[in-house]
């Protein structure tokens, strides 16, 4: 059976935007991973969101406005995969030095990459990996 080798959409990037409970806490977490704040959105002096950048990858964080309730669970069923050419063990060590707890230490995967996993403050799962 023949398979399509080219999709109709030729995307060049993807930038997830996630809603968080505590924007300052989440920003510190991602900065601890090595992201930097690329842009900030404020209204009447209140920080509403940030765009974070790491290499060519961007993630948007926005402060929850609580219109859907303060007990709304976030992150369920979501995993963000972040690929890098860097030494994954060093990236993990830097994250741990910033106070971030890893869910899984750097390890070799069955498909040949080196990866570690962690969970952000709102329950979003992250995997950082380097392909062989």
Name all domains of the chain by residue range, CATH numbers in brackets: 17-64+79-130 (3.10.180.10)
Question: What pLDDT does residue 4 have?
Answer: 63
The count of other CB atoms within 10 Å of the CB of residue 128 is 24
Question: What pLDDT does residue 59 have?
Answer: 97
The reported pTM is 0.89
Cross-strand bridge partners of residue 82: 128
| pLDDT tens-digit map of 65-114 | 999 888 888 988 899 999 999 999 999 999 999 999 999 999 999 999 99
């Amino acid at each position: 059976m023949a398979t399509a080798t080219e999709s109709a959409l030729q995307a060049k990037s993807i930038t997830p935007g996630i809603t968080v409970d505590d924007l300052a806490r989440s920003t510190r977490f991602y900065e601890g991973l090595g992201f930097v704040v690329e842009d900030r959105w404020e209204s009447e002096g209140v920080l509403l969101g940030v765009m974070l950048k790491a290499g060519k990858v961007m993630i948007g964080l926005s402060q929850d406005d609580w219109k859907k309730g303060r007990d709304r669970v976030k992150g369920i069923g979501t995993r963000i995969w972040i690929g890098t050419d860097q030494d994954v063990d060093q990236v993990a060590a830097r994250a741990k030095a910033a106070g971030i707890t890893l869910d899984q230490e750097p390890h070799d995967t069955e498909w040949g990459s080196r990866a570690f996993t962690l969970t952000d403050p709102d329950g979003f799962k992250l995997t950082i990996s380097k392909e062989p």
